[in-house]
Structure 1
């Protein structure tokens, strides 16, 4: 059975959920975290970035000055609740019913932050003279732009000699049971927007027109016909999805002048965004079409290979939960993509079954077991 923590994460989780911190609003959420950390001996620094109409509040807190330095990263911002009438309770009530905590952020990831702080409090009670340093990077800009949050704080950390030796992101990574999954990497994400130009004309006289739809389909065909790769040691195959296709045409007898498509490529460590962008250009050029294309990468793929840090996480999780975690790289992007530029990073947290859903929730017992597991991780990593 999982070890229990003396410090209960539930009151802190409720206090965080009651802050209506829909990105980029903070609504006091980082104040709640700071008030919990300062009595534990953390020096807290608030870092505010962004334009006047999109101000983002961030928190960096550190205890200790020596190495090894472990940083826990997370976010207090949440997505909008959606249809509030569909919720059983106020999305920001932090209600506990039948052993389950409800509210926006209970799963992703205010519950996780509360669990880490609770586990941290127990660890410090047992190891007040712990070796090394512990820090927390908590942002208010993860669920939306992700421009003025973790990425900016990391720049500040580097400029001020605060780069950690390793980092743990508390996203809800577990799939079916707490402890079953550690994410050691993420796929990259590239979005391309393509406009192919032709010549408008009557569909009965195609020789007098140049159909851009046919040219765009011809360019996309080879990209969709064969896989970009067959996966790598730790990653599934790269995927290319057409996520938008539009010609702005409501007349059945008119060949349009322009056809547009939007693509999203989730790519593994066999590719980078520059190479994939060139591959798209080559396919379009081979079709002979006149086109324009913009490509935007929200994050390159990254991988933290199994080694001392990942092995320590696995041992602590297995010992605390009784579950041997699988090493995984699936899912979307996270702020770990920024941290990977600075140090080894892995992700571990609660079961993510209800994130972003109506009636988002987390079992109280699971959050308490997560806190105990974070405590075990601190012991294993720092000693």
Structure 2
């Protein structure tokens, strides 16, 4: 007989919820949990659907699971072994777009909450699930906007994000934070001219070359025990006036800082300006903060999650801050201890995305064990 977590995961995978379209995933879960005594609040912002479902209002610890129902497009369908929306099961493996990132986690969270409430209908504290359909996209109208209002209405002590954190074995990696992501657009001014008369022009590509070399080698900070040093990477370079015989008048550079809590937007901006000034460049800067870094330092929460992983899988988890960004960056600033634990990440955003059935069953049990530890054994 198919585990119930797999049945629910398949129902979610079959829905074409490509960002920002929820495609009915959230109503399915709201109706399901609503029939078991959960309350819910839905908010549509632009084309994005957001929902918070919770159970319990008594004093006590409060845990919120965080996930998303949107998935990335499947790409060329002919490259898939099975249709990405077929939720095909073969040899103990569930295939489908979003099974690992992160409809499998969402199903496991729902089943864990259901079982906990069925076993403990008058439990202390609160258990909740927040979902958005805008995590894989611009992440503007999702948790970024939804969380502040919900944080004003609800108190939460802990948040567990279901992003696929595991590497080789389920539960071998827990993200205890993420680096911040800061984009900068640099415009270097030169002087346009004819390539045959370079003495009458100032090529901004050559003017910026030594500064770019220094930026690539510069040590922005040293990081700390959980975070690597801040990195600076150029992602786009643009120059040219549309003709091969014109020296461009400006050079446009797009770059990104992935930074530890040891730095800030202000400190990075000051260091960048010092380098550009030192090279006597005429420049303009514009900034876009994608998300500030967050770092869970709640040792009791970390120990509880590690104990749940050991209890279910026998694996000793590694705590780190690797990977890109997640919606956890919009939760942690509200004073909520935030970590991430989810399925194996080897096939996310790839053709033939998949996850073992046994892993999703174990994940459900880890989540359930964690709820018990945080709410009943604080």
Shorter-chain TM band: over 0.9
Distance (whole Å) between structure 1 residues aligned to residue 365 and residue 89 of structure 2:
20
Which residue does the alignment assign to 1:314? 306
Distance (whole Å) between structure 2 residues aligned to residue 274 and residue 29 of structure 1:
40
Which residue does the alignment assign to 2:225? 233
Which residues of 2 match residues 1-383 of structure 1 at below 5 A?
8-50=4-46, 55-66=47-58, 67-160=60-153, 162-248=154-240, 253-342=245-334, 343-383=336-376
The answer to whether the 8 Å contact 1:173/1:181 transfers is yes
How far the C-alpha of 1:7 sits from its partner, in A, is 6.0
The answer to whether the 8 Å contact 1:7/1:122 transfers is no
Distance (whole Å) between structure 2 residues aligned to residue 354 and residue 366 of structure 1:
14
User: Alpha-carbon deviations, 1:113-140, whole Å to 9, x = none?
Assistant: 0011122222233323322111111111
The answer to whether the 8 Å contact 2:240/2:247 transfers is no
The answer to whether the 8 Å contact 1:188/1:333 transfers is yes
How far the C-alpha of 1:332 sits from its partner, in A, is 0.3
How far the C-alpha of 1:76 sits from its partner, in A, is 0.3
User: Alpha-carbon deviations, 1:208-257, whole Å to 9, x = none?
Assistant: 21111112222222221232223211101211111111213565554221
Q: How many residues align?
A: 373
User: Structure 1 length as normaliser, TM-score?
Assistant: 0.93
User: Alpha-carbon deviations, 1:26-83, whole Å to 9, x = none?
Assistant: 1111112112212332011111112xxxx11111111001221111110001111111
Distance (whole Å) between structure 1 residues aligned to residue 271 and residue 212 of structure 2:
11
The answer to whether the 8 Å contact 2:56/2:122 transfers is no
The answer to whether the 8 Å contact 1:220/1:283 transfers is no
Q: 1:85 to 1:7 in 2, by over 3 A?
A: closer
How far the C-alpha of 1:297 sits from its partner, in A, is 1.1
- Partner-residue secondary structure (3-state), 1:20: coil
Runs of 4+ in 1 over 3 A off after TM superposition: 202-205, 249-254
The answer to whether the 8 Å contact 1:182/1:325 transfers is yes
- Partner-residue secondary structure (3-state), 1:341: helix
Q: Which runs of 5+ in 1 are unaligned?
A: 1-5
How far the C-alpha of 1:285 sits from its partner, in A, is 2.2
Distance (whole Å) between structure 2 residues aligned to residue 226 and residue 140 of structure 1:
38
How far the C-alpha of 1:156 sits from its partner, in A, is 1.6
User: Alpha-carbon deviations, 1:174-193, whole Å to 9, x = none?
Assistant: 11101111111100011111
The answer to whether the 8 Å contact 2:9/2:99 transfers is yes
- Partner-residue secondary structure (3-state), 2:4: coil
How far the C-alpha of 1:306 sits from its partner, in A, is 4.3
